A and B are shown apart, each in its own frame.
Chain A
């Protein structure tokens, strides 16, 4: 076992049969904390290798940023499960593994003869985490779909993001994929942990759409719509019923303007220099301020436009007011706070050189985690895994190559 093997999940063996974001990120979380993860790619490689971002926008299968960040600490092999020899080889990996993570459409897994029933016949103790936009059952389980389709099926965008009358929005990243990946990691790892009491392996069916529709949107909305038949939609304002509570522009970008409780509002007023307008009755509490939001925000903006986001954040925080800077990714990456917590790690990659990476998502003092080894090159560990781990003879490996299974 390598350095990462000393982590909390030491002893857990994972086959990552994923593409792009959801399954690879789920497997990466396990690899971050010490599971032994083998990434199985088709001969053409994970689609993330073709997705970028690439240095200088020059496409290269070993230089994709998306592949780099979601596949750390993994060993990589190639295997074409669409040919008989490849599927047999894949079955041997499944006999070795505790967990299989995949994010193919159900119809694709059927075409490869890799449904859960078939996988369970190969290894009854295996936990199979399937992360798809819509899930393994239900009328849309046969649909084609991506992150975008899953996210907009949840009600989240219609309810919470965008201006009324304009298109509802996703976050600008693969929100549904990440949410599903995290749900898959939590439920899948628990299923593996509890195989003894559960009596064996099982399928963990994650629908990215369902996870968000239920635990995010449903949590705060489904009771109202079921009981009273009415529901709310996006307003384009952070909080329509209390104010100030939205993103406002400032001199060098934007700040999240929040001053709802009395003490917070007084703190903000103090930082603004106790302007006379703020003493008007129409701004007395968060509710009347919300009713007079347009006027209030125009007053506030007059002030914010003269100050930088960091200045506003620091002064308001010191005055007890929960206002934060809206960091760009560059500013987020430059935070002394994150540096002080050793959030970032440098990884040496054979083709990209030394690259700074996001570190462990949470800190476990007794069993530190986080990315240590770079994402594998395509098929980098074929000999080590097939020859070493599965004890195949070199002649067998050669014949698998000849059959184009590897």
Chain B
């Protein structure tokens, strides 16, 4: 069995939709699991309708964002409005190890796909539910969007410019993070099943998972009663300076510089040509630099402002300073580091067009991931119904004709 991907042999039925659930499926797929996403033309997933489309031609199988976020998930089309389709979903689940869903609490029960029902067809099934704020509790039915869910964790309250109010993060950072976190939860449940033979229903509250990122600020609150607010790009614990992004030559060009040790500070001073101001008592120790961080950042910004971000990063790195260019989206495709790691790659979709998606966002040395294109709706129907369920050709055709498989 050597050199198969680590989750080979694990089958996942993914009822997840939009972003978080599909990323959980994608991650498990990169790791070797067979992932079948259940969806339907009857109610197109919102992400399939998101522009831009391949070659500028709209269509549910041509959304470029959709393909990148979902690649690795297979697709089985079932119109869950129909009881027969829900029964077929259950039949597939009877042949699966894991079911993923990111509906609101209660939706699975309304689809007659609640955990008890799943156990009846597959006693050791793992049901992974990832609603916004968990399956129980007074806020479990809270309405949020992915990009605003973080407001319930405290995270949004610390994003912004020092001294100002919170600045919104303009997309749902939590969605892919929760999806990847969810993949960890699924593997953990698989391990428990291997140990004990037991499946279970995992209650993954995106709010609670993402609130773990607030650990440092939470501890300052618990230990000192302090309630942190926005502080630009300063160190989250206020123990290092300089620590920010600084302007460089050109429009909206910046460099990140983080100095955490005396050796790094000495390197920075050397790289700047040992300027007079850097010898001031105000900047002599880490504590002093933190105390005078605004003045320090202003001095540094004056030095960086006329320099090229990449050249400056190279220079600073030569002196041992943690510095890197601040990339915009347009830089990502051309950045030599991401190019070398094949972070983004062009693939040919079965419909014939080329599209650029991301590949394995973590690299495995022994069992590299297979990168697939975004799934076409229903691309795995044959295999699922004829193959896994052993359905007759006649019944399969009939279910398609009646738009149960749709």
CB of A322 within 8 Å of the partner chain: yes
CB of B346 within 8 Å of the partner chain: yes
**A146-B260, A169-B233, A193-B6 given as contacts; is B223 within 8 A of A355 (CB)?**
yes
Given contacts A322-B145, A364-B192, 10 further A-B contacts (CB under 8 A): A56-B224, A147-B258, A152-B326, A158-B328, A167-B247, A194-B4, A197-B8, A202-B366, A337-B138, A341-B137
CB of B337 within 8 Å of the partner chain: yes
Asked whether A143 lies within 8 Å of B322 as measured between CB atoms, the reply is yes
Residues of B within 8 A of A12 (CB): 191
Listed residue (B190, B216, B224, B235) with the most chain A CB atoms within 10 angstroms of its CB: B216
**A160-B170, A169-B167 given as contacts; is B332 within 8 A of A189 (CB)?**
no
CB of B1 within 8 Å of the partner chain: yes
A191, chain B: closest CB distance, angstroms: 5
Nearest CB in chain B to that of A59: its residue: B239
Nearest CB in chain B to that of A66: its residue: B216
A209, chain B: closest CB distance, angstroms: 8
Complexed CA–CA distance, A184 and B181 (Å):
10
Residues of B within 8 A of A191 (CB): 6, 31, 364, 367
Interface of B is mostly: mixed
Residues of B within 8 A of A194 (CB): 4-8, 31-32, 367
User: Which of the four size classes fits the interface of chain B?
Assistant: 35 or more
Residues of B within 8 A of A134 (CB): 337
Partner of B31, one of A52, A138, A187: A187
Complexed CA–CA distance, A11 and B187 (Å):
14
B23, chain A: closest CB distance, angstroms: 6
Residues of B within 8 A of A201 (CB): 366
Asked whether A135 lies within 8 Å of B327 as measured between CB atoms, the reply is no
Which residues, 243 to 293 on A, are CB-close (under 8 Å) to B? Answer: 245-247, 249, 253-256, 258
Complexed CA–CA distance, A218 and B364 (Å):
20
Q: Mark B110-143, 1 if CB is under 8 A from A, else 0.
A: 0000000000000000000000011011111011
CB of B231 within 8 Å of the partner chain: yes
Complexed CA–CA distance, A159 and B405 (Å):
39
CB of A238 within 8 Å of the partner chain: yes
Q: Mark A143-185, 1 if CB is under 8 A from B, else 0.
A: 1111111111111111111110111111111110011001111
Asked whether A157 lies within 8 Å of B326 as measured between CB atoms, the reply is yes
Complexed CA–CA distance, A153 and B218 (Å):
27
A376, chain B: closest CB distance, angstroms: 17
Q: Choose, from A37-45, A89-97, A327-335, the stretch at the interface.
A: A327-335
Asked whether A158 lies within 8 Å of B153 as measured between CB atoms, the reply is no
**A216-B176, A223-B67 given as contacts; is B3 within 8 A of A198 (CB)?**
yes
Q: Choose, from A78-86, A226-234, A392-400, the stretch at the interface.
A: A226-234
Complexed CA–CA distance, A317 and B367 (Å):
47
Residues of B within 8 A of A405 (CB): none
**A341-B137, A366-B192 given as contacts; is B365 within 8 A of A205 (CB)?**
yes
Nearest CB in chain A to that of B255: its residue: A152
Partner of B64, one of A139, A227, A332: A227
Which residues, 204 to 251 on B, are CB-close (under 8 Å) to A? Answer: 204-205, 207-209, 211-224, 226-233, 235-237, 239, 243-245, 247
11 sample A-B contacts, Cβ–Cβ < 8 Å, listed by A number: A11-B195, A51-B239, A138-B338, A174-B213, A179-B180, A191-B31, A191-B367, A197-B32, A215-B358, A225-B329, A356-B222
Asked whether B356 lies within 8 Å of A178 as measured between CB atoms, the reply is no
Asked whether B258 lies within 8 Å of A238 as measured between CB atoms, the reply is no
A138, chain B: closest CB distance, angstroms: 4
Partner of A329, one of B7, B144, B214: B214
Residues of A within 8 A of B362 (CB): 183-184, 187, 204-206, 210-211
